[in-house]
Structure 1
């Protein structure tokens, strides 16, 4: 149901290979046009996927990211749709109810897992969906009042459509326009907010 413990992001030690990877990324992709948190998300998603096209494919709002960043660092719950997303978020406890979920008529296991998770955490959580479009669709059907929805499911059936519905919903969100996505990039987007220092840490 949960993964790892919460760790102070300021204590994170960046490996030299990661430092070099980001240096090469920035040499190939100019991210200086983005505001700070947007840039952090773009760079970490690109880093996790080696796909420079995400710089133009991702959709997010800096103000929404700022509010979500504050909520995350204040201890808001983090809910994931699958264990693969949880595995990528190694420095924060997460909630995943897929193992407890059951499918039924008109309801996938992923959608049921979202219902179970919402019953557990209530409003104000950060939701990280990287696998199942039906999980994102179910979340949009709930009155979940999320701090942020990272909606980056992947696939040829329903993925792009569910992400378009997320953008149309008006909820604070990170999404992308194309069919690509996945657990690694969804976790990377959350990690970008998790690793980014609080304002007082940068002053």
Structure 2
């Protein structure tokens, strides 16, 4: 059952809480063992993207899917790069009522989207709408109002003139149980089954 969205503070001091001092960066599990195999140097292409719809995705692997955008359908290559997990104290600071975050921590998923086909975009994209964060197989509670431009993240609503070959990193912030053993990043194209990147907590 999906958890309800968690209300947030409106004061400026709240905006930095979920992402400014995140304590743990998780690396996706996969055939590469425990290494962070998803990082790459500029100019080095991503691992070949999978094109079937839905299923588990290994570390560093990208998938492709189409999204209906304003000017037409766009094909994207998508990969979950990492998840930053914070503390219970940060979760309590991020909501209006600290009791709503009891036993939970913020999890910020970093997803990289590359425009691979279709028309160039001249305004914000819808590609990030299908992303979500789960913990131990259960959907987390979305942290409404979390900043889109946290360190390493871009605000999807300010990206313009997105052309083929260009990439952007958008982030999703959810609250998940503090004792979760793994965090999952889900993304799917319209009417498709979700792709799942798993990030074990050590």
- Give me the TM-score of the superposition, normalised by structure 1: 0.23
Structure that is richer in strand per residue: 2
Structure that is richer in helix per residue: 1
